Homo-oligomer: A and B are copies of this chain.
Amino acid sequence: MSPRYANVSEREQEPPSLAISTVIFALRPDPETGVLTLWLPLVRRIRQPYLDLWALPGGPLRATESLQDAAARNLQETTALTPRYLEQLYAFGGPDRSPSPRVVSIVYWALVQPDEAALARQDENVAWFRADRVGALAFDHNHIVDYALWRLRNKLEYGSVAYAFLGSTFTLAQVREVYEAVLGRALDPANFRRQLQASVHIEPTDDYLQGGRHRPPRLYRYTGPDPRESSFPSQRREATEH
């Protein structure tokens, strides 16, 4: 695909090529402990460099699509996922992050709901890993995953990202589970409830979640702005329209 060069001076002539990658997060119960934890899908490299190592899904940018559209398409093609939450993370472009032809990667991050995640393709070349146990990845992808985790935790405190992990209705305890899984520590249920109810972005429904072993909790609905809008109005426009 990309030409290889015999020496450095030739390589320096080549303009850096552009790629789009995505870090996808989903919450699922750990199969051993049952505790809700963060997982992400990775794809196996089927060519050099880093043949057979796991890497973030990604691909090239086509001429007529926006950066965000390219991320969504690559995601669809490699993992069959179409997450509702998709946002730019960072552009990584150090000259040494890839051997041979230099690649600048514009990385997006996505959050998927459990039912979406269940539809994801899984085969010998696509698999899910616990976010804190991904092992050694291709390129600088370990660094990228760490950075995405940091951003996720930050953004969680800031606002409304948590609902991107949940369905259209949810119990307050489920929201708390999301926070606990992402932040990695337990939260006081009573205080958490009080804070959530004080925020305006949530409203109770008349339904209750039946079938549990205990008192059925009330279901709530998220009514705030689209979690993708980082409260900078035209940001989403640029990202999706162009």
Chain A residues engaging chain B, CB cutoff 8 angstroms: 11-18, 61, 63-67, 88, 90-97, 102, 104, 106, 140, 143, 146-147, 150-151, 232, 234-235, 238, 241-242
Contact = CB atoms under 8 A, between A and B. Distances in A.
Contacts of A235: 147
Nearest to A62: B12
Nearest to A235: B147
A238 B64 contact: no
Contacts of A140: 238
Contact of A66 (B14, B17, B94, B150): B94
Contacts of A97: 242
A144 B160 CA distance: 24
Given A63-B14, A104-B67, A238 B146 contact: no
Q: How many copies of this chain does the complex contain?
A: 2
B106 A91 contact: yes
A140 B93 CA distance: 23
B14 A94 contact: no
Nearest to A142: B234
A218 B94 CA distance: 43
A61 B18 contact: no
A112 to B, nearest CB: 23
B61 A92 contact: no
A232 B143 CA distance: 11
A144 to B, nearest CB: 9
Nearest to A90: B88
Given A18-B104, A234-B146, A235-B147, A12 B91 contact: no
Nearest to A93: B67
Contacts of A95: 63-66, 242
B94 A238 contact: yes
